[in-house]
Amino acid sequence: MGDIVLSGVYKAFGDKRVLENLSHTFEGGKVHGVMGPSGCGKTTLLHILLGLLKPDAGTVSGIDLNALSAVFQEDRLCERLGAGANIRLAAPHLREKSALKALFDEMGLGGAEKTPVYELSGGMKRRVALLRALTAASELIVMDEPFTGLDDAIKETAAACIRRHLDGRTVILVTHSEGDVFLLGGTVGLTLPLL
Amino acid sequence: MISMLLRNRHAAFALAALFWLALWHVGSVLVGEEILLVSPLAAAARLFEMLQTPVFWQTAGFSLLRIMGGFLLALLSGILLAAAAYRFKLAHALLAPLTGAAKSVPVASYTILCLVFLRARSLPLIIAFLMTLPIVYDTLLEGLRNTDRKMLDMAKVFRLTPLRRLRAIYVPQCLPYLVSSAGVGVGIAWKAGIAAEVIGLPQGSIGARLYETKLYLDMRGLFAWTIAVMLLCFVLEKLLLLLINRAARALERM
């Protein structure tokens, strides 16, 4: 996995400037925290990295759009499908029930594989979203406040599971808590200013 | 006692229906002329008589096959056209004036026009199709346009195949729109189909029987056939919604 390079990235919504002349290099295979005050453009930056938004100026290089996965700010799960079916949607290679069960156990979700998402608690949904991002074939995982709604003990379990399954992939993590970055063994390499 | 019954949706419906039937009966007694307003009991008795004759079932079958055939064709075409209009701007631009105009064309105009080119026997099918298609198309297109943008972004990031997008995102989000359009569409198909039959008089249709009741001032027959159409429409609507829901669940589980 190579480096991801942002060069002079500029993005505005109407008159509101969100990102201005942003240049930064995310080293491949590492966990990178992106921090900054509310409204500074962290989520916008993630959407640019995911190819969901185009920068008005500047370039982003080093990302294969066919090798991405993400934990969005909201869970974005298919509510009527089972938790396991949600994982398989993004990770069709995960056919064996035992492999899926082992992952659910590791994430502290044992027995919830067939439970429809609408019956899960907020914290459980979040962990299903984390598992989906981990299991999808990818080189870069983008995470937007991945531990929202998880208490400290569950957060530790989830972080340990994520660390075990990163397999050298690059992670770019947006968070308000430096501790979340450290939990995943990363460093805060970029702090965005409020424009 | 009544407030307790009203808490149950089905009981409340039955109570309200009984109230209106009683009012209808009182009205018919007050009018005192069956030729003007037949009583519900007399209409029910006539319907019961009709149910025991093969002619009734042949007539109902004739109209049912054609009207529901037209409706199902409209449902299928509406789904395909809405999907095309959602996906391709050109298809939407081409269809917009057509569906817009189709909504306001009177059944009579369609019927007379169709009679120039077609046999009266195929009239209910064509009219049910033409009247239902814009409803299904418009409602489903609205459903597709209201599909959660964030879920579509998720599908893009995770590179979900078109089939997976269909079953995981589009089907669950568009199902309420499809059910709604199908529910409204069945009613419209029957109303328009029977109206077309009354104008075109295809032999052996419900519309032709209704026309005969007018000729012979057979108010009992008129009400009996009307109740029969209402019952057919009600049963078919429930059956159809059940089938649509089952098909959607099956597609989601694929």
Residue A16 pLDDT greater than 80, yes or no: yes
Quote the mean pLDDT of chain B.
Answer: 92
> Can you tell me the distance from the alpha carbon of B208 to that of B227, in angstroms, rounded to the nearest whole number?
16
Q: Establish, for the pair of chains A and B, how many residue pairs have beta carbons separated by less than 8 Å.
A: 39
- pLDDT-derived band at B252 (thresholds 50, 70, 90) equals confident
Residue B165 pLDDT greater than 70, yes or no: yes
Give residues 235 to 254 of B whose Cβ lies within 8 Å of A: 252
Chain B hits for A70, Cβ within 8 Å: 154, 157-158
Residue B7 pLDDT greater than 90, yes or no: no
Summarize pLDDT for B181-211 with one digit per residue, the tens. Answer: 999 999 999 999 999 999 999 999 999 999 9
- What distance in Å separates residue A67's CA from the closest CA in chain B? 8
Q: Which CATH architecture has domain B42-253?
A: Orthogonal Bundle (1.10)
Which pLDDT belongs to residue B104?
86
First to last CA, chain A: 32
List, as one string, the DSSP characters of A2-13: --EEEEEEEEEE
Which pLDDT belongs to residue B209?
95
Contact check, Cβ <8 Å, A89/B168: yes
Q: What percent of chain B has pLDDT over 70?
A: 98
Q: Which of A68, A72, A81 has the CB atom closest to B252's CB atom?
A: A81
Q: What is the CATH number of the domain that holds A160?
A: 3.40.50.300
Which pLDDT belongs to residue B1?
66
Chain B hits for A69, Cβ within 8 Å: 157-158
Residue A133 pLDDT greater than 90, yes or no: yes
Give the other-Cβ count within 10 Å of A111's Cβ.
10
Reported ipTM: the value is 0.93
Mean pLDDT across the stretch A53-81? 94
Summarize pLDDT for B98-146 with one digit per residue, the tens. Answer: 888 888 889 999 999 998 888 889 999 999 999 999 999 999 999 999 9
Nearest to B66 by CA among B117, B142, B3, B119: B119
Which pLDDT belongs to residue A109?
93
Domain ranges of chain B: 1-32, 42-253
Q: What percent of chain B has pLDDT over 90?
A: 77
Residue A195 pLDDT greater than 80, yes or no: no
Residue A166 pLDDT greater than 80, yes or no: yes
- What distance in Å separates residue B158's CA from the closest CA in chain A? 6
Summarize pLDDT for B55-65 with one digit per residue, the tens. Answer: 999 999 999 99
How many domains, chain A?
A: 1
Which pLDDT belongs to residue B245?
86
Quote the mean pLDDT of chain A.
Answer: 93
Summarize pLDDT for A52-65 with one digit per residue, the tens. Answer: 999 999 999 999 98
Residue of B150, B156, B159 to mutate, interface with A, max A Cβ within 10 Å: B159
Q: Is B159 on the interface with A (CB under 8 A)?
A: yes
Which pLDDT belongs to residue B254?
66
Summarize pLDDT for B134-149 with one digit per residue, the tens. Answer: 999 999 999 999 999 9
Q: Torsions phi, psi of B41, nearest 5? A: -65, -40
Range of the domain at A126: 4-191
Contact check, Cβ <8 Å, A78/B164: no
The identity of residue A137, as a single letter, is A
Residue of B147, B150, B157 to mutate, interface with A, max A Cβ within 10 Å: B157
Contact check, Cβ <8 Å, B154/A52: no
Which pLDDT belongs to residue B32?
87
Task: Extract long-range pairs of A81-84: CB within 8 Å, 24+ residues apart.
Answer: A81/A116, A81/A117, A81/B168, A81/B252, A82/A113, A82/A114, A82/A115, A82/A116, A82/A117, A83/A109, A83/A112, A83/A113, A83/A114, A83/A115, A83/A116, A83/A117, A83/A120, A83/A124, A83/A128, A84/A113, A84/A114
Summarize pLDDT for B16-35 with one digit per residue, the tens. Answer: 999 999 999 999 999 988 88
